[in-house]
Structure 1
Amino acid sequence: MGDQPVTRADFDNLATMVKALSDKLTALMTKGDNVGNNNRNYTSNRNNNNNRNDDNNRNNPSTDDS
Structure 2
Amino acid sequence: MKTNRTQIILWAVAVLVAARLTWVSIQHHMPVLDTTTITLFSLYGARVAAETIARAAKTARKTGANQS
Report the TM-score, using the length of structure 1 for normalisation: 0.49
- Higher helix share goes to which structure? 2
Q: Which has the larger radius of gyration?
A: 1
Report the TM-score, using the length of structure 2 for normalisation: 0.48
> With CA pairs under 8 Å and 6+ residues apart, which has the higher RCO, 1 or 2?
2
